[in-house]
Each structure stands twice: as structure tokens, then as C-alpha cells.
């Protein structure tokens, strides 16, 4: 485990890119597996590479948001705009502020990049992406922000895989 901590500490952006490009792309893929009820590669090689690039871009934005919103909440606490939170209270404050302010932008960017890759203009059900900020991402990131910083991006990438699985079951049920 020390090698992981050493790596994410020494290379925070590169490690975020690696983790999200693998786990985020896997989440997209597993979602298709669940819908179709079979394991297969749902993308051609070009699309798969574009998905990896998409998740890499999202990883950088997410890494910066994690750092920025931690500082944002710290500043609010230091200036008495929030009470002195510790533990789960502080984690919840960071998660809530990040997901309500940065989250909508990320949902839109994610869908925009999906549309560019697919060569379509699909904004159907974007509201479900916004709702996921409330029912999934705020609770998930509250848990994430309880962890030491070295493990936060890794868990966030795992949450992306988990949401892909959840959405796969939702899409299968809907179809």
C-alpha cells in the first residue's frame, strides 16, 4: 500500500488520470454489459481511446475540484461563515459545496464529451445526472472526504465504476 501512497503523493494529476481513465471507462463499459446481459467490448478502438481521454480530462477537473473545495470550506470555516466542522461534518460540507457548485458543470461537460465522442446531440435524461449529485455523489463524496487525501481520488474513481453499475441496472430496467 505504501507504493500507492507514494505514487499518488508524488504524481497527483497523473495518478488521478490513470485511476479515472481505467475505472471510469470500465464503469461505462460495465453499464453496457448489464443492459445487454453479456460481456463484450461496446466500443471500437477509436471510441475506447476517446473514452479514456474523456475520463482523463474529467480526472484532472475532479482532482482540482477536490483541492479547491477543500480550501473553499476551510476558508468559510476560518472566516466564521461555517461552524468549526470536523470529521463527517466537514466531509459533508466539502462534498455538498463541491457537488452543488462544481457538480452541474461536471455533469454537463461529461455529457458534452459523450456527445462529441458519439457524434450526436443527446441531452435526454440529463436531469437524472443532476439528481445523481444529490442521491449518489453527495453521500459518496462525504465518505470520500473522511479518508486521508491519498485515498480520495482513488475512491472517487471507484465511485464512478459503482455509478456505472447502478446506471446499468437502471437502464436495463427502463428498457
Question: Going by C-beta distance under 8 Å and a sequence separation of 6 or more, which residues neighbour residue 91?
Answer: 141, 142, 143, 144, 145, 146
Distances (CA, A) of 84 to 78, 92, 99, 140: 8, 13, 21, 22
Residue 34: count other Cβ atoms within 10 Å of its Cβ.
Answer: 19
| pLDDT score recorded for residue 65 | 98
Question: Is residue 5 included in any domain, yes or no?
Answer: no
Question: Is residue 94 included in any domain, yes or no?
Answer: yes
| pLDDT score recorded for residue 111 | 97
Question: Is residue 7 included in any domain, yes or no?
Answer: no
| pLDDT score recorded for residue 68 | 98
pTM: 0.94
| pLDDT score recorded for residue 77 | 97
| pLDDT score recorded for residue 174 | 77
| Domains in the chain, number | 1
| pLDDT score recorded for residue 1 | 85
Residues of the chain with pLDDT under 70: none
| pLDDT score recorded for residue 6 | 97
Question: Is residue 138 included in any domain, yes or no?
Answer: yes
| pLDDT score recorded for residue 23 | 97
Question: Is residue 59 included in any domain, yes or no?
Answer: yes
**What's the CA gap between 65 and 72, in Å, rounded?**
10
| pLDDT score recorded for residue 29 | 96
Condensed to tens digits (0 to 9), the pLDDT of residues 59-69 reads 999 999 999 99
Range of the domain at 160: 14-36+45-174
Amino acid at each position: 500500500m505504501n507504493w500507492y501512497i507514494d505514487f499518488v503523493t508524488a504524481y497527483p494529476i497523473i495518478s488521478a488520470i490513470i485511476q479515472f481513465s481505467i475505472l471510469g471507462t470500465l464503469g461505462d463499459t460495465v453499464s453496457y454489459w448489464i443492459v445487454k446481459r453479456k460481456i463484450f467490448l461496446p466500443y471500437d478502438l477509436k471510441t475506447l481511446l476517446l473514452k479514456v481521454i474523456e475520463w482523463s480530462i474529467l480526472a484532472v477537473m475532479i482532482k482540482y475540484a477536490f483541492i479547491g473545495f477543500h480550501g473553499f470550506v476551510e476558508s468559510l470555516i476560518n472566516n466564521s461563515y461555517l461552524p468549526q466542522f470536523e470529521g463527517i461534518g466537514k466531509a459533508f460540507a466539502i462534498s455538498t459545496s463541491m457537488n452543488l457548485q462544481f457538480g452541474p458543470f461536471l455533469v454537463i461537460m461529461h455529457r458534452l464529451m459523450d456527445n462529441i465522442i458519439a457524434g450526436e446531440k443527446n441531452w435526454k435524461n440529463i436531469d437524472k445526472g443532476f439528481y445523481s449529485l444529490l442521491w449518489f455523489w453527495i453521500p459518496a463524496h462525504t465518505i470520500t472526504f473522511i479518508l486521508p487525501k491519498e485515498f480520495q481520488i482513488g475512491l472517487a474513481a471507484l465511485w464512478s465504476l459503482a455509478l456505472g453499475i447502478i446506471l446499468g441496472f437502471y437502464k436495463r430496467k427502463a428498457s
